[in-house]
Amino acid sequence: MNAPELRTDDRPVLGSDLHLELRGTRLRAGLVEALREAVRGGRLAAGTRLPSSRSLAADLGTARNTVADAYAELVAEGWLTARQGSGTRVARRADPGDRPPHRPLASLPAPAAPSHNLVTGAPDLASFPRADWLRAYRRALTAAPDEAFGYGDPRGRAELRAALAEYLARVRGVHARPERIVVCAGFAHGLTLLARALRERGVRDAAVESYGLELHAGILAGAGLGTPVLPTDGRGTDVGALGDLADCGAVLMTAAHQFPLGGALPPDRRAAVVDWARASGGVVLEDDYDGEFRYDGKSVGALQGLDPERVVYLGTASKSLAPGLRLAWMVLPEDLVDGVVARGSVHGAPSAPDQLAFAEFLGSGAYDRHVRAMRLRYRRRRDQLVAAVAAHAPATRVGGIAAGLHAVLTLPPGTEETTLRTAARHGLAVEGLSPYRRPTAPPPPAGLVVGYATPSDSAWPGALEALCRVLPA
């Protein structure tokens, strides 16, 4: 039997949705008042296009003329506008009952945005490979099974975990199996899951380095962990001090490229921290935030390769691609997988389409090509920074430059604050070294942390020139 043909009034009405609360028994008056209140209260902003009279009438179950008359009354009052081809919209007008805001006779102008940005923490966002990423996204969505759009595995998409296992083994020397990888929405998200799992397991303290991001120590503390500080010397973090911390069950380190000082942990100390973990039953949390960007000499592999059962590897695409992707990952020891996954959720992970796109981006070789191109670009910038500082500010020493996206400029003693104030006056955003010091660590030398990867190619020359102008001669 053939399906009955739809009559005209049975066809679906296409248009925008609009939530209105009508009061009273008179529909037209209630509609006028509800629309007026929605505009007056700001729920319907100026310029908002309203549903057609036919569409809204169908939603309300009333005659079209009732809605058309209500619209006409509000147009006459000035609340709405109606133009052929543009539909009915909220008028750009003030509520007659509103009073103009009080304005003081004199006020300070808002601070101007900096003209040049050398704050560390981000790559050159203008160089994001949009075309290659779009191609990867299209291929990934075309091939995606229907179940990819469900809630899925809290560890992340299997396709991405397999691609990451291959990439990390090849490039960073990480011993990774897909079932040991958990995809997370940024490094901070992963560290939060880890900290909670460690605390639940009975860990009391997680040591941190003398210099680092306060955010990361705060995440550990927020999970109930103490954060004793390890000393540092000319060879980097002194991991020998771990033996004196009786309650310490974990340590957070940037072993391949200490942040922000920039050195790599020497081989004997890499071995020593793994030996401590084996002997004490502790865990090393390895933050490999920019491991792909090494410019001088042999690449420094991940610490995790020394003992996958005692080191948690944490990586991210925030420096290689963009922080806005919210893509990061953990490679976990077997005995931590269940505890971390139990505290995670697919609701906190990156979207499945983004994960599939990244898996395609990795598998196609596009990620390798992008990283190689950016490595050459950032190395040129680093070399230009070193040359410019040597020429314009010979009293300033540039360090921490063998890898990464930033450099540390050591200034003459006592000049950090004055240099930062001068930079602000010249419209240059840059950070001092002091804010990265843990409260119990000895005071650092005067210095700046310069993110030379942050500006776009067109903005870089101006930012470098501005930096040289503010450095002490």
The CATH number that applies at residue 36 is 1.10.10.10
Side chain identity at residue 147, one-letter code = E
Residues 421 and 302 in one domain: no
What are residue 162's phi and psi, to 5 degrees?
-70, -45
The verdict on residue 374 lying in a domain is: yes
- Nearest 5°: the CA angle 195, 151, 223 is 10
- Radius of gyration of the CA atoms of the chain, in A: 29
What is the distance between the alpha carbons of residues 320 and 336, in angstroms, rounded to a whole number? 27
SS3 state of residue 287: strand
Residues 443 and 407 in one domain: yes
Last residue of a domain, one of 368, 386, 414: 368
Residues 402 and 315 in one domain: no
What is the distance between the alpha carbons of residues 93 and 358, in angstroms, rounded to a whole number? 47
Residues 252 and 343 in one domain: yes
pLDDT (0 to 100) of residue 28 = 86
Domain range spanning residue 52?
Answer: 17-90
Selection from 424, 455, 450 nearest residue 261 by Cα: 450
What is the distance between the alpha carbons of residues 320 and 305, in angstroms, rounded to a whole number? 21
What is the DSSP secondary structure assignment for residue 452, as one 8-state letter?
T
The verdict on residue 22 lying in a domain is: yes
What is the distance between the alpha carbons of residues 71 and 319, in angstroms, rounded to a whole number? 52
pLDDT (0 to 100) of residue 197 = 94
pLDDT (0 to 100) of residue 93 = 63
Beta bridge partners of 184: 328
Residues 145 and 160 in one domain: yes
Residues 181 and 263 in one domain: yes
Tens place of pLDDT for every residue, the chain, 473 residues?
Answer: 444 443 334 444 445 678 887 877 788 888 989 899 888 888 888 889 889 888 888 888 888 999 888 888 888 888 989 887 778 999 886 444 444 444 444 444 445 678 999 999 999 999 999 999 999 999 999 999 999 999 889 999 999 999 999 999 999 999 999 999 999 999 999 999 999 999 999 999 999 999 999 999 999 999 999 999 999 998 999 999 999 999 999 999 999 999 999 999 999 999 999 999 999 999 999 999 998 999 987 778 999 999 999 999 999 999 999 999 999 999 999 999 999 998 876 567 899 999 999 999 999 999 999 999 999 999 999 999 999 999 999 999 999 999 999 999 999 999 999 999 999 999 999 999 999 999 888 888 999 999 999 999 999 999 999 999 999 98
Residue 260: asked if its preceding bond is cis (omega within 30°), the reply is yes
What is the distance between the alpha carbons of residues 429 and 120, in angstroms, rounded to a whole number? 10
The verdict on residue 196 lying in a domain is: yes
Cβ neighbours of residue 28 closer than 8 Å, sequence gap 6 or more: 66, 69, 70
Residues 63 and 155 in one domain: no
Work out the number of other CB atoms within 10 angstroms of the CB of residue 443: 8
Residues 388 and 446 in one domain: yes
Last residue of a domain, one of 336, 368, 400: 368
Q: Is 359:135 a contact under the CB 8 Å cutoff?
A: no
The verdict on residue 243 lying in a domain is: yes
Q: Is 398:386 a contact under the CB 8 Å cutoff?
A: yes
The verdict on residue 283 lying in a domain is: yes
Tokens coding 412: 């003459």
Tally of domains within the chain: 3
The helices-and-strands tally (H runs, E runs) of the chain is 13, 16
- Calculate the alpha carbon distances from 263 to 40, 43, 162, 300, 330 in Å: 60, 54, 31, 11, 23
